Structure 1
Amino acid sequence: MKFLFYLFSIAVILLLSCTSTNKVLKNEAKSQNNNYNILSLGDSYTIGESVCETCRFPEQLKDSLSNNTKDTSFNLKIVATTGWTTTNLLNGISNENLPNNYDLVTLLIGVNNQYQGKDFSIYEKEFPELVDIAITKAKGDKKRVIVVSIPDYTYTPFGKENTTISSEIDTYNAFAENYCNANNITFVNITDITRNGLEDTDLVASDGLHPSKKAYSLFVERLLPYALEKL
């Protein structure tokens, strides 16, 4: 009987030891995975036309994530150029040798389709393609993707509150939001922030057209809770 009790005790000790070792290994693995990669895809609103490099929203988001997490570092890659349409972005991505290991991917695209008078059917075809690419780059996990709504540039000195253009931007945003909702992809609306640009001129950059650092900071306030959930 004593021998059986002895064997039982040894088995318990070994089990606890293995469990403890597994926990240590998991914690060590977690501590080694403190380097997060962010990919931001888009156009002038992503590259931050007319604002400083650290003022654009992907940079501010990276800094906010760093400030809200412990012992972590964040690497940011931006694929965006002022004036890019969905077609341009698709081509731009194909010219990059991007890995499929990003922990977070943001996508903000479409304003230049509208501005350049492209047929809406192009956006209907290419926006889903870009979302699929974003998912692929995000380790194949759509939960790591955030789609951002298109700002409304009519609420600027350049746009002069053109209601027709605003309505067209609404159409683009509605399509993107409906697509994201149907496919369980995070969609964050920041358009209403930019529609305060004529009342609060600090929301508009010095060029009288693009969002300012302040506007991008407000974008990040919306994005940050969703981004933190994805890490």
Structure 2
Amino acid sequence: MHFTSELLLDDGVLERRFTLDGIPGLLWTPADASAPTPAPLILLGHPPLGLGTMYPRLVARARHAAADGFAAATIELPGSGDRPARPALNQAREDLRRAMRAGEPVGDDLVDALVLPLVDAAAPEWRAALDALLSLPGITGPVGVSGGLISLGVRLTATDPRIAAAVLFAGSFVPRVMFEEARRVTVPLHVLLQWDDEGNDRASALALFDAFASRDKSLHAHLGGHTGVPAAAAEAAAGFLRRHLKQA
């Protein structure tokens, strides 16, 4: 991990940009995080729109996390931002847009092409980032996951024992194979669902929630489209992470 810049925000949060094997990332730590008093870490997920586009939302979430005593970090997804393009993924996104414009059903093959290569490429990178982040002074476990592509959240939560709790947003298409992985997820879960999300299959989202093996899981559904998540939902999710990561 190589830090490329450092910025002290006005609330005392330290923002550092880094690269890890050429992958850009961002790390935010609260003012009182230190080797004697390390902060638990939250991995901030995001859609594949690029860190530059997502930065305002990410830094707002990171500040909120820091106010609760957490460090927060994220990395660029494969094929996003300045990372090399992935032509097959771009083609799948164009096929999806075409199908949705035409009002056609989104088939399993298209969902698989859209999601699985991205998850397969991204999950090892996020685990490598977690290795590097937890080696830094001032950062410790337990680790939480918050938001982003739900399939990536499922993969990480199912396979990395360092993740102790997850906030998942049921706002993206889910390949059928991910339901088997969901049955291996046992950590506490807080799942958000926009009931009228135009880009999400509600029945699939409900089935995925049912598949999770966690004994402590809750589904928080709100009326409205993909971008209509109410402000109160953020505080409910933050409270969930405070309870589970601080207790752990």
Q: TM-score, normalised by structure 2?
A: 0.44
* Higher Cα radius of gyration: 1
Q: TM-score, normalised by structure 1?
A: 0.46
Greater fraction strand: 2
Greater fraction helix: 1
Question: Higher RCO, 1 or 2 (CA under 8 Å, sep at least 6)?
Answer: 1
